[in-house]
Amino acid sequence: MNKIIGFIAVIALAVGITGVVKNGQVGVQGDKGTQGIQGEQGVKGDRGSQGVQGERGVQGVKGDKGATGAIGVPERLGAISGPDVYFPMFFHEGLTDGGGIRATSTVNSAETLLAADLNKAKVIAYTLNVQDATLTLPATSTLSSFIQQAGEFRSIFIRNATTTASMDLTIAGGTGMNLLVASSTKVIVGNTSGSNSARLDFVRRADKDIDVTMSIFLK
């Protein structure tokens, strides 16, 4: 019984305390602070201008089409080690033979050609400063370097370069020179153009003599 009374007393005390708290004054709540002002947004910068687009380059001109090339021809090359050749040679595009012109003259009615005249020239232009003359070919004994071997051959032209029609040049063979003519004359008559000529073909024989065949050409 005493326990029940004690419990009731505790309950009563609790209720009393609750009432006191309820009826008591509650402390005044402080004012709410003013909210700070938000800063202004910065001014937005202007948009930059777009760059100018570069002009398009000019297109190059197309070159003309090249001409069709010629059909190639196989090139055949050859070489020799010196002036002496011991095998046949073929000149399919022709051959140009030179040697120069040797000009000489005489005031005598009889003259003999020199070995140097034959060795260095293809044409001997002979001028007469005398009325008519006889020109004798050199002796074979003086021609040590002129067509030395048997069968060797060389052609030379002798021209009467005199421009007086009455001045004639007669060709005669020297010692060891066998002069052969196709006609009965061995005379290169003079003319005003100084162009009458004789062609002499020299061939060395096995006995070391030289056969000379002569053909005369007159204007």
Between these two residues, 69 and 101, which has the higher pLDDT value?
101
Q: Which helix (H) or strand (E) holds 62?
A: none
Residue 17's pLDDT is 46
Joined tokens for residue 208: 């070391």
How high is the mean pLDDT of the chain? 82
Residue 142's pLDDT is 92
Between these two residues, 181 and 89, which has the higher pLDDT value?
181
- Contact in structure between 179 and 199 (CB atoms under 8 Å): no
Give residue for tokens 């005669």.
172
Digit-coded pLDDT (tens) for 26-67: 455 666 666 666 667 767 777 777 767 767 767 777 778 777
Q: Name the pTM for this structure.
A: 0.62
Residue 104's pLDDT is 93
Digit-coded pLDDT (tens) for 16-30: 544 444 444 445 566
- Domain ranges in the chain are 101-217
Between these two residues, 120 and 70, which has the higher pLDDT value?
120
Rounded to 5, what percent of the chain is helix, strand, coil? 15, 25, 60
Residue 87's pLDDT is 80
Residue 156's pLDDT is 95
User: Hey, what's the torsion of the CAs at 179, 115, 149, 214, to 10 degrees?
Assistant: -20
